[in-house]
């Protein structure tokens, strides 16, 4: 047996247990020893019964005097035993455990733990944890009873795999594989921390609080360290790539462009642009992430960067997450940059461009005055060709832009809007390139500093921290059940005045499953009864894309009053006339996610509202949601999410598991800074890790949250 041995091949782990382990994502021996306790029970002190304190957890050592099964009138089985430790006797009771009379016999010496209570006049412990005191049951590691002595680890469990079972297996397996646990950490980094083998032993079988603390210190360090090392290596790789030429920043032309805008850039936009310019001038490929709230004006920043690329003789590709948004940006870029003589193209790879279609599938409100999008193409192929043949200076599109069929000549800048990382495609795209274009990624997802310093550590970060002046803050209210009718009346009133409403239905599962869609449909039917006079549309991820477009377009064109939608559906299009955002089941969303949903309104000149509905009115739920009434800063909200609910919450991406740490926490700024400094030190000493062969080997095996 070694660390890679599949758990189902380990003697003593049967088929069913193997399946249950797999449910916890524990497939190999290594997975099991990396399944850490999330807390410990303190059973360290064994007391005589006559000194034990009532209503506290106690650990006792003694002998079984009698044991039998008793059947109650309701046909339940109780196992009752008398236990004596020389100072006194107590009763032990287990429910539904009739098998115990076969494993615990009169005369057996036992160590037990549990809460000491009094039943009538008799001292008892209900459902005690127990183990026999013969040499086999002593932990091979701590030489203490496994389940009832010292600090007893409690593990994340699944049905049928108790902590007791996990502890037993670990106590058998860990001693057999510990010789394979190598510690790749150089002494200079490890310092006074435990070595890895000790850390694993002590986290599972601690003898003291200090063991717990020290093993945590080491294992938490490692978890974050590997992420840091990985992202910093990616960052360095990027900097070593051959870049396109150094760009010149032509301030005169830029100033001219800025005067064509109907607004003045905010200080934040200016600052971020300067950071981008510094990258572009450096002669190394830029890899920058611009983070800014919905509505903070990222598009114009992107347009300016694209203009700079153009002035330097390079083209730009702008990648939007959906086709609808691609068309929206296409319109914006045309408006901004065509007057300066730039040629803007669109490329979405859509199958919708079929015969004689002379307008895009999603006429955009922004385009109304401009007629159609000038895609007079009878076939999809020709749309593509057109984009290429006419040499656009900027091509707006979707993922289809990455296609090999599209020639990427003279490509100087790639802008990626509103995407999570797309590491794999990005890298394969880059592999074939002699020269690397600059990369600018934009997101409205607020990323706490600690996360930016780890998961996004390969990117340079710019933050647009303010909204353009004059935006009317959105009034947000948590609506308790008894005020719901008032809220509905208010909505009806607003609609009568010509405004529109988004209503987000809660998700049932984390991703949009059938259950969520069914719930959305039910909700839709209910709402139709509540608002019999209003025009309602339903949008969810399982509609065909034509159906989706139809619903969205009707809403945009004012033909629907209320758009009922699941949260995962792209409702990113601008509908300035929508002034109310209602979120059902708000308790199921992270604050930052709620904030992003709320950002769909408040785009026009009228006062906008966000109503948070929740059927759960526990005070902890309500006070968490009420943060949104007071706080309009997405980053602050994401920090609160991080504190209350952990990192998966931030990205609304819990299902991916990608952002979940096993033992460390993104709340631990000190740890994050310490590990980053350590990784930096390593790479300064040896950028390619050549003097740290063990780190190199380990790194290639690290299954970290960073995409590679």
Q: Say whether residue 365 binds ligand ADP (CB under 6 A).
A: no
Question: Each residue of 277-288: b (16+ CB within 10 Å) or e?
Answer: bebbeeebbbbb
> C-alpha distances in angstroms, 574 versus 536, 554, 603, 681?
18, 13, 8, 47
Q: Which helix (H) or strand (E) holds 202?
A: helix 196-204
What is the 3-class SS of 71-85, one letter each residue? Answer: ECCCCCEEEEEEEEC
Q: By beta-carbon distance, which residue lies closest to ligand ADP?
A: 297
Q: Which of residues 186, 295, 361, 646 is near ligand ADP by CB under 6 A?
A: 295
Window 460 to 499, contacts with ligand ADP (CB under 6 A): 468
The span from the CA of 187 to the CA of 578, in Å, is 60
Least CB distance to ligand ADP at residue 37 (A)? 43
Least CB distance to ligand ADP at residue 472 (A)? 13
Q: Say whether residue 218 binds ligand ADP (CB under 6 A).
A: no
User: Is the CB of residue 202 less than 8 Å from the CB of residue 215?
Assistant: yes
Q: Say whether residue 576 binds ligand ADP (CB under 6 A).
A: no
Size of residue set near ligand ADP by CB under 6 A: 14
Least CB distance to ligand ADP at residue 610 (A)? 17
Q: Which stretch binds ligand ADP (CB under 6 A): 263-271, 349-357, 453-461, 633-641?
A: 263-271
**Where does residue 14 rank: exposed (0-12), middle (13-18), buried (19+ CB within 10 A)?**
exposed
> C-alpha distances in angstroms, 51 versus 46, 63, 64, 85, 127?
10, 17, 19, 11, 21
Q: Say whether residue 334 binds ligand ADP (CB under 6 A).
A: no
Least CB distance to ligand ADP at residue 596 (A)? 10
- Of the pair 191, 470, the CB lying nearest ligand ADP is at 470
Least CB distance to ligand ADP at residue 444 (A)? 6
Least CB distance to ligand ADP at residue 266 (A)? 5
The span from the CA of 411 to the CA of 316, in Å, is 6
- Tell how far CA 107 is from the center of its chain: 54
CA dihedral 390, 395, 399, 404 (to 10 degrees): 40
Q: Say whether residue 269 binds ligand ADP (CB under 6 A).
A: yes
Residues 6 or more apart whose CB falls under 8 angstroms from that of 152 comprise 40, 41, 42, 43, 113, 129, 146, 163, 167
Q: Which of residues 71, 103, 263, 489 is near ligand ADP by CB under 6 A?
A: 263
Least CB distance to ligand ADP at residue 459 (A)? 18
The span from the CA of 182 to the CA of 194, in Å, is 13
Least CB distance to ligand ADP at residue 666 (A)? 25
What DSSP letter does each residue of 129-174 carry, written as one string? Answer: EEEE-SGGGB-TTTSSBTTTSEEEEE---BTTB-HHHHHHHHHHHH
Q: Say whether residue 602 binds ligand ADP (CB under 6 A).
A: no
Q: Say whether residue 294 binds ligand ADP (CB under 6 A).
A: yes
Q: Say whether residue 593 binds ligand ADP (CB under 6 A).
A: no
Q: Say whether residue 704 binds ligand ADP (CB under 6 A).
A: no
Q: Say whether residue 297 binds ligand ADP (CB under 6 A).
A: yes
Q: Which of residues 296, 398, 505, 704 is near ligand ADP by CB under 6 A?
A: 296
Q: Which stretch binds ligand ADP (CB under 6 A): 101-109, 295-303, 454-462, 672-680?
A: 295-303
Least CB distance to ligand ADP at residue 377 (A)? 28
- Of the pair 468, 541, the CB lying nearest ligand ADP is at 468
Least CB distance to ligand ADP at residue 348 (A)? 19
- Of the pair 224, 597, the CB lying nearest ligand ADP is at 597
- Within 283-322, residue ranges assigned H as helices are 298-311
Q: Say whether residue 604 binds ligand ADP (CB under 6 A).
A: no
Q: Say whether residue 510 binds ligand ADP (CB under 6 A).
A: no
- Of the pair 25, 262, the CB lying nearest ligand ADP is at 262
Q: Say whether residue 99 binds ligand ADP (CB under 6 A).
A: no
Least CB distance to ligand ADP at residue 305 (A)? 13
Q: Which stretch binds ligand ADP (CB under 6 A): 46-54, 170-178, 296-304, 671-679?
A: 296-304
Least CB distance to ligand ADP at residue 10 (A)? 52
The span from the CA of 250 to the CA of 253, in Å, is 6
Window 49 to 78, contacts with ligand ADP (CB under 6 A): none
Q: Which stretch binds ligand ADP (CB under 6 A): 85-93, 258-266, 354-362, 433-441?
A: 258-266
User: Is the CB of residue 411 less than 8 Å from the CB of residue 317?
Assistant: yes
Window 142 to 181, contacts with ligand ADP (CB under 6 A): none
Residue whose pair of structure tokens reads 């694209």 in the numeric block: 306
Least CB distance to ligand ADP at residue 301 (A)? 8
The span from the CA of 378 to the CA of 355, in Å, is 5
| 368, two tokens | 């109304």
Q: Which of residues 299, 465, 577, 667 is near ligand ADP by CB under 6 A?
A: 299
User: Helix axis angle, 634-645 relative to 591-598, nearest 10°?
Assistant: 150
The span from the CA of 160 to the CA of 170, in Å, is 16
Least CB distance to ligand ADP at residue 501 (A)? 21
User: Is the CB of residue 54 less than 8 Å from the CB of residue 78?
Assistant: no
> C-alpha distances in angstroms, 145 versus 12, 58, 163, 171?
20, 14, 14, 11
Least CB distance to ligand ADP at residue 678 (A)? 36
- Of the pair 123, 366, the CB lying nearest ligand ADP is at 366
Q: Which of residues 47, 265, 375, 510 is near ligand ADP by CB under 6 A?
A: 265
Q: Which of residues 204, 298, 540, 595 is near ligand ADP by CB under 6 A?
A: 298
Residues 6 or more apart whose CB falls under 8 angstroms from that of 213 comprise none
DSSP 127: S
The span from the CA of 660 to the CA of 528, in Å, is 40
Q: Say whether residue 300 binds ligand ADP (CB under 6 A).
A: yes
- Of the pair 604, 646, the CB lying nearest ligand ADP is at 604
User: Is the CB of residue 136 less than 8 Å from the CB of residue 172?
Assistant: no
Q: Say whether residue 534 binds ligand ADP (CB under 6 A).
A: no
Question: Each residue of 356-374: b (16+ CB within 10 Å) or e?
Answer: ebeebbbbbbbbeeeeebe
φ/ψ of residue 156, rounded to 5: -60, 125
Least CB distance to ligand ADP at residue 292 (A)? 5
Mask for 431-460, x = binds ligand ADP (CB under 6 A)? -------------x----------------
User: Is the CB of residue 677 less than 8 Å from the CB of residue 670?
Assistant: no
Residues that bind ligand ADP (CB under 6 A): 263, 265-266, 269, 292, 294-300, 444, 468
């Amino acid at each position: 047996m070694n660390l890679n041995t599949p758990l189902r091949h380990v003697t003593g782990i049967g088929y069913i247990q193997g399946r249950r382990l797999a449910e916890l994502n524990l497939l190999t021996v290594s997975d099991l020893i990396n399944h850490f306790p999330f807390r410990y029970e303190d059973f360290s002190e064994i007391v005589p019964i006559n000194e034990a304190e009532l209503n506290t957890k106690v650990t006792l050592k003694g002998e079984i005097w009698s044991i039998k099964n008793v059947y109650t009138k309701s046909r339940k089985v109780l196992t009752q035993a008398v236990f004596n430790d020389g100072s006194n006797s107590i009763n032990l009771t287990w429910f539904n455990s009739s098998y115990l009379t076969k494993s615990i016999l009169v005369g057996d010496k036992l160590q037990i733990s549990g809460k000491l209570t009094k039943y009538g006049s008799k001292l008892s412990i209900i459902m005690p944890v127990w183990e026999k005191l013969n040499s086999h049951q002593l932990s091979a590691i701590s030489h203490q009873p496994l389940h009832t002595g010292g600090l007893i680890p409690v593990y994340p469990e699944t049905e049928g795999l108790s902590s007791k079972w996990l502890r037993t297996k670990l106590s058998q397996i860990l001693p057999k594989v510990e010789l394979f646990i190598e510690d790749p950490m150089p002494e200079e980094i490890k310092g006074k921390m435990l070595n890895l083998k000790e850390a694993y032993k002590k986290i599972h079988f601690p003898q003291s609080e200090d063991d717990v603390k020290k093993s945590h210190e080491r294992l938490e360090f490692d978890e974050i360290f590997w992420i840091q090392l990985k992202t910093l290596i990616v960052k360095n790789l990027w900097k070593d790539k051959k870049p396109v030429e150094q760009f010149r920043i032509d301030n005169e032309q830029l100033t001219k462009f800025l005067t064509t805008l109907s607004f003045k850039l905010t200080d934040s936009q200016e600052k971020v642009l300067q950071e981008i310019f510094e990258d572009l001038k450096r002669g190394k490929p830029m890899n920058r992430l611009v983070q800014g709230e919905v509505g903070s004006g990222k598009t114009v920043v992107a347009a300016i960067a694209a203009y700079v690329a153009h002035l330097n003789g390079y083209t730009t590709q702008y990648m939007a997450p959906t086709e609808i948004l691609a068309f929206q940006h296409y319109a914006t870029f045309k408006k901004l940059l065509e007057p300066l003589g730039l040629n803007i193209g669109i490329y979405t790879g859509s199958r919708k461009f079929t015969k004689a279609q002379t307008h895009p599938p999603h006429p955009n409100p922004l385009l109304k005055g401009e007629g159609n999008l000038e895609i007079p193409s009878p076939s999809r192929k020709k749309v593509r060709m057109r984009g290429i043949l006419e040499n656009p200076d900027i091509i707006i599109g979707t993922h289809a832009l990455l296609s090999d069929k599209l020639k990427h000549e003279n490509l100087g800048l790639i802008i990626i809007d509103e995407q999570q990382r797309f590491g794999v495609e990005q890298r394969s795209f880059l592999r074939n390139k002699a020269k690397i274009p600059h990369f600018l990624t934009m997101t409205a997802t607020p990323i706490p500093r600690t996360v930016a310093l780890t998961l996004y550590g390969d990117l340079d970060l710019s933050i647009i921290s303010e909204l353009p002046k004059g935006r009317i803050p959105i009034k947000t209210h948590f609506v308790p059940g008894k005020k719901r009718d008032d809220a509905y009346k208010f909505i009806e009133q607003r609609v009568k005045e010509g405004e529109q409403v988004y209503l987000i239905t809660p998700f049932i599962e984390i991703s949009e499953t059938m259950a969520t869609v069914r719930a959305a449909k039910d909700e839709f039917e209910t709402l139709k009864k509540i608002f019999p006079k209003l025009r309602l549309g339903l949008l969810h991820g399982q509609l065909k894309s034509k159906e989706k477009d139809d619903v969205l377009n009707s809403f945009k064109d004012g033909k629907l009053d209320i758009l009922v939608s699941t949260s995962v559906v792209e409702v990113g299009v601008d509908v300035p006339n929508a002034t109310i955002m209602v979120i059902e089941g708000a308790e199921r969303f992270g604050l930052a996610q709620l904030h992003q949903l709320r950002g769909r309104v408040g785009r026009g000149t009228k006062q906008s509202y966000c109503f948070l509905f929740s059927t759960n009115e526990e005070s902890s739920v309500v006070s968490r949601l009420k943060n949104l009434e007071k706080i309009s800063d997405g980053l602050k909200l994401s920090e609160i999410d991080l504190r209350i609910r952990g990192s998966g919450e931030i990205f609304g991406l819990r299902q991916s598991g990608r952002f979940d740490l096993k033992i460390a926490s993104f709340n631990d700024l000190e740890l994050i800074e310490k590990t980053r400094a350590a990784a930096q030190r390593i790479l300064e000493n040896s950028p390619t890790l050549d003097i740290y062969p063990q780190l190199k080997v380990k790194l290639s095996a690290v299954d970290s949250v960073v995409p590679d």
